[in-house]
Amino acid sequence: MADTIFSSFETVKYEGPSSEKALAYRWYDADRVVLGKPLKDHLRFAVAYWHSLAMQGGDPFGGPTIQRPWFAAGDPIAQAKVKADAAFELFRVVGLPFFCFHDADIAPGGETLAETLKNFHIMVDYLEEKLSKYSTKLLWGTANLFSHPRFMAGASTNPDPEVFAWCAATVKNCMDATKRLGGSNYVLWGGREGYETLLNTNMKQELDQMGRFLTLVVEYKHKIGFDGQILIEPKPKEPTAHQYDFDVATVYGFLKRYGLEKEVKVNIEANHALLAGHTFEHEIALAAAHGILGSLDVNRGDALLGWDTDQFPNELWSLTLSMYHVIKAGGLKQGGCNFDAKVRRQSFTPEDLIHAHVGGADICARAFLTAAKLIEDGRYDAILEQRYAGWKSPEAAAILEGKVSLDQIEAMALKNGINPQPRSGKQEQIENLLARLIYSDTL
């Protein structure tokens, strides 16, 4: 096997909470059985190819800070193979079971569509070979329909039908590749699906284009017998002021509008939730309520900055509540937890990337264990149950079942002489209960 910048690192192991070793898992005990199955099957962690292998550390004020052998000049396909060799070694080192990629992360673009697809196919073959030699699997594939200038006015929402066609051809190939590589999901993040100014935008036309595109994707999924989930990743604000897939609620409305709510779910990203003015747990709970919870991009933002900083997660409170709602929704199933997170531009060593993933997986595992404990403990669920207990009465249940009309409810209310009394929402009591569990070291 080719030597890579990660080859000298041992695979990071679980050593338990008391371990002092920096590169060891303290909470992520992959084989520990919780709620009936191993932690690794609940969390299904994935490394993001773009942030870990393709990102060079540039920001609006400065160029690349991250030097990797595959960024040096050379034959682009040969370099893409060096990158893939390193990628699979990184997956081995961090010991996480999945990865995710965009077409543009794994293969260089070409001058034409045909050349771009040719490069892509060469690299998909190469990845297929890698997958046969390593235990890593593919969580999801996706297409980068936002970086190249051809997408500046949109991908499927572009005023130019040739761009729509380019995107259709690209997504078709990415779906074929995802199926071939055994992927569990196919993700669509509409990076350029939005607008900068309404002055040059026909919003209805663009939404209809996006609806048609997604319908084509769903039809093609069935045509090729891909049994993975199709997922939309909501995000507000970035890159355009008005993103069409703003948040879970907006995406659900869009899916309903185009009759796709049974076919498409969501990939929810923590920092996108915050940018939309929500919390991660809000977005997860809402997706679960609509039956469209698909997968998670776990990361964090910086409250002081307010853009998509894509940092590795390290905050326990919100993550624990997020995991609680995941468990309550029946788990992530074919989805997983993708580290859509990047190291900071000063963290340019290969070792920095390993520390990042170790910390990320540990905090998520700890959050999951705490959420499972919270559920087993039962006191929190009992408070919630109690709060809504009134709806269990036959009269109240009949209302929800649509068996009574507005005037019948009025008659019932008068007959019963109802006189509703205020009741405590018990917020502080719940917060204290959660705090004791979340910050306890015995899990």
- The contact set with ligand XLS (CB under 6 A) reads 102, 142, 187, 189, 233, 235, 269, 297, 308, 340
Smallest distance, ligand XLS to C-beta of residue 75, A: 27
- In the bound complex, which residue of the shown chain has the CB atom lying closest to ligand XLS? 189
Find where tokens 């326990």 sit. Answer: 316
103 touches which of ligand XLS, Ni ion, none (CB within 5 to 8 A by kind)?
Answer: none
Q: Determine if 281 is a binding residue for Ni ion (CB under 5 A).
A: no
Number of residues binding to Ni ion, judged by CB under 5 A? 4
CB of 340 to ligand XLS, least distance (A): 5
Q: What are phi and psi of 266, to 5 degrees?
A: -120, 145
3-class SS of residue 293? strand
Q: Which is nearer to ligand XLS, 341 or 372 (CB)?
A: 341
**How near is the Cβ of 250 to ligand XLS at its closest, in Å?**
16
Three-state SS at 219: helix
Q: Measured from the CB of residue 235, what is the shortest distance to ligand XLS in angstroms?
A: 5
d(CA 141, CA 81): 18
Pick between residue 139 and residue 369 the one whose CB is nearest to Ni ion: 139
| Residue 142 touches which of Ni ion, ligand XLS, none (Cβ within 5-8 Å per kind) | ligand XLS
Strands 242-243 and 194-195: antiparallel
Q: What's the rounded Cα separation, in Å, for the pair 200 and 418?
A: 56
Q: How far apart are CA 407 and CA 419, in angstroms?
A: 18
Polymer length in residues for the chain: 443
Query: Please, what is the angle between helix 316-328 and helix 427-438, to 10°?
Result: 100
283 binds Ni ion (CB under 5 A): no
Choose which of 85, 281, 308, 362 interacts with Ni ion (CB under 5 A).
Answer: 308
Q: At 388, which amino acid appears? A: Y
Q: Which residues contact 262 (CB under 8 A, 6 or more apart)?
A: none
Pick the binder of Ni ion from 297, 301, 324, 354 (CB under 5 A): 297
Non-local (6+) Cβ contacts of 65 within 8 A are 56, 57, 58, 345, 346, 348
Interacting residues of 369 by C-beta distance below 8 A, sequence separation 6+: 27, 34, 39, 443
Q: Does 340 bind Ni ion (CB under 5 A)?
A: yes
Contact 293, 268 (CB under 8 A): yes
What minimum distance in Å lies between the beta carbon of 100 and Ni ion? 9
Residue 344: Cβ within 10 Å count = 14
Task: Mark whether 102 is an active-site residue.
Answer: yes
Catalytic residue among 51, 102, 290, 325: 102
Q: Which is nearer to Ni ion, 311 or 334 (CB)?
A: 311
Determine which one of 105, 245, 297, 362 is catalytic.
Answer: 105
Contact between 269 and Ni ion per CB under 5 A: yes
Q: How far is the CB of 194 from ligand XLS (least distance, A)?
A: 12
Q: Which is nearer to ligand XLS, 23 or 336 (CB)?
A: 336
- Confirm whether 105 is a catalytic residue: yes
Interface of this chain with Ni ion, residues 141 to 200, rule: CB under 5 A: none
Which residues are marked as active site?
Answer: 102, 105
